[in-house]
Amino acid sequence: MAWSNAEFREQYSKLANIYDPGMWLYRAIGMDIEAYRQAAVDVLLLRPGDTVVDLGCGTGLNFPYLHAAARESGRIIGVDLTPAMLEQAERRARKAGWANVELVEADMSGYRFPADTDGLLATLALATVPDYDDILARAASELPAGARIADFELQWPERWPTWLARFAAWLNRPAGVTPDIVHRRPADAVARYFVEVEAREVYFGAGIICSGTVPGS
Ligand SMILES: C[S@@+](CC[C@H](N)C(=O)[O-])C[C@H]1O[C@@H](n2cnc3c(N)ncnc32)[C@H](O)[C@@H]1O
């Protein structure tokens, strides 16, 4: 069964200190998560001065890419459930000297998007939340017309032999990947609620980067 918020918070409190170094596990198998982060930020089409929300921002590994795109005049809002992950994000922003990063401890299911949001990013985060479809529906109705969304997720790789896909899901168990969430498809929800939708599979179908625009522009 999928984890509750309390279970996520408890597990990510334990993982917070080792989350960033733990990324080497993906690198070791040739999965270039950093390139996927960059690609997700690229498709947000941010401009200097833009406001961007990073949902489930964790330790802030997307911030360098967001900062490079929105620049110092922009606003980066990182939202996460786990205080320990946000502490790491705060440390990252302080070390880099970024004064335009705001961190919000919140459940993304109830988070209200600032009215001037230009971009909404989520990486490795939306699929863990059971009501991701509602979150995306709300984002499409609350965000201003023309705002952009980008999401990067790992997904069940349909083309892989079942045993290998099961093994990959099992390896991600410490991050909250349970059997019932591996078939969730935030990219399908993005296609339901946004326009100008594009999606690209990466790592032989085990990852997907999708993007879209809030309708009405
Ligand atoms: C796998 S980490 C991804 C972190 C970051 N986005 C990245 O790409 O490295 C998942 C993050 O989602 C957060 N999270 C889980 N459920 C959440 C919820 N309901 N609302 C906000 N954040 C949540 C966890 O605390 C954790 O930091």
Residue type present at position 128: T
> What class does CATH assign to 5-213?
alpha beta
Q: What is the pLDDT of residue 200?
A: 97
What's the rounded Cα separation, in Å, for the pair 62 and 178? 24
Distances in Å between the Cα of 97 and the Cα atoms of 63, 67, 94, 208 are 12, 11, 5, 32
SS3 172: coil
CA 16 to centroid of ligand 1, rounded, Å: 11
What's the rounded Cα separation, in Å, for the pair 109 and 132? 8
Those residues of the chain that have pLDDT short of 50 are: none
Q: What is the pLDDT of residue 174?
A: 79
Q: What is the pLDDT of residue 177?
A: 75
What residues are paired with 148 via a beta bridge? 119, 213
Q: What is the pLDDT of residue 169?
A: 78
Q: What is the pLDDT of residue 167?
A: 79
Q: What is the pLDDT of residue 38?
A: 98
Q: Which atom of ligand 1 is nearest to the CA of 152?
A: 8
CA 127 to centroid of ligand 1, rounded, Å: 10
Is the CB of 80 within 6 Å of ligand 1?
yes
Is the CB of 51 within 6 Å of ligand 1?
no
Q: What is the pLDDT of residue 217?
A: 57
Q: What is the pLDDT of residue 162?
A: 83
